[in-house]
Amino acid sequence: MNLRVSLCQTEAAWRDPIGNLRRAEPLVAAAAADLVVLPELFATGFDVAAAAAEPEGGPVADALRGWALRYGRAIAGSVAVREADGTLRNRMYFVRPSGEAEWYDKRHLFRPGGEAAAYAPGSERRVVHYRGWRLLLLVCYDLRFPVWSRCRGDYDAIVCCAAWPAPRRAAWRTLVRARAIENQCYVAAVNRAGADPGIVYAGDSALVDFRGETTAEAGCGVQTLTATWDREALEAFRARFPAWRDADGFRLEE
């Protein structure tokens, strides 16, 4: 019933996917967890140029599948993908230990960074089922939009990968905890460390419980966080304090 989750807060060398994969694999291998989460665009840096995207099932996605099979744990992280028709997606893969993959295409594209001009947004929420848990996948900027991430009784935890710049670190820390509180869910939020050209990342990856309390938090460098999510504690809290029953109804429209 419990789930052990690790966040690998990595650095990403600009436009060096081979080197970034080589540096990330030991962190994945060492993480003693059922689920390992890597940052947004961990293999390329936050590069929205079309040349940075790989074809569907490309080398980064293939590496995630290989690691899941080799180390016997689920792995999540986002990859720049170019679909067969040329459409670009910021795609968060969730790869099971069997190598089977599901994915979520980032809905809210970061307009100030040029992502919205280059990439196409996703249109569907993705809740994956894994080891008895229901996990909502989000990517970075999605955290700013509570309607999209609102729990409708359909998930137990949010898994978010990000490349969130240091100047907005206060917003990151606040939003991660706000999403946990308002949805009465666990949150695993991994941010990256290091820098891209002109952008510095603060890290601040965090594992937060359904009360909004921090169970593990990173600093600014390369680091792995691990925590165990307790299913019985989550269900007991939701039963004892059923704020979810008083949530307002709504309908999403394009």
Does pTM surpass 0.95? Answer: yes
pLDDT of residue 170: 98
User: d(Cα 234, Cα 237) in Å, to the nearest integer?
Assistant: 5
pLDDT of residue 254: 66
Short-list 155, 156, 174, CA closest to 164? 174
Write out pLDDT tens, residues 90-122: 999 999 999 999 999 999 999 999 999 999 999
Low-confidence ranges of the chain (pLDDT < 50): none
Q: Which are the catalytic amino acids? A: 40, 106, 140
Q: Domain limits of the chain? A: 3-245
pLDDT of residue 1: 85
Could you write out the three-class secondary structure of the chain?
Answer: CCEEEEEEECCCCCCCHHHHHHHHHHHHHHCCCCEEECCCCCCCCCCCCHHHCEECCCHHHHHHHHHHHHHCCEEEEEEEEECCCCCEEEEEEEECCCCCEEEEECCCCCHHHCHHHHCCCCCCCCEEEECCEEEEEEEHHHHHCCCCCCCCCCCCEEEEECCCEHHHHHHHHHHHHHHHHHHCCEEEEECCEEEECCEEEECCCEEECCCCCEEEECCCCCEEEEEEECHHHHHHHHHHCCHHHHCCCCCCCC
Question: At which residue do the structure tokens 């900027």 appear?
Answer: 141
- The architecture in CATH of the region 3-245 reads 4-Layer Sandwich (3.60)
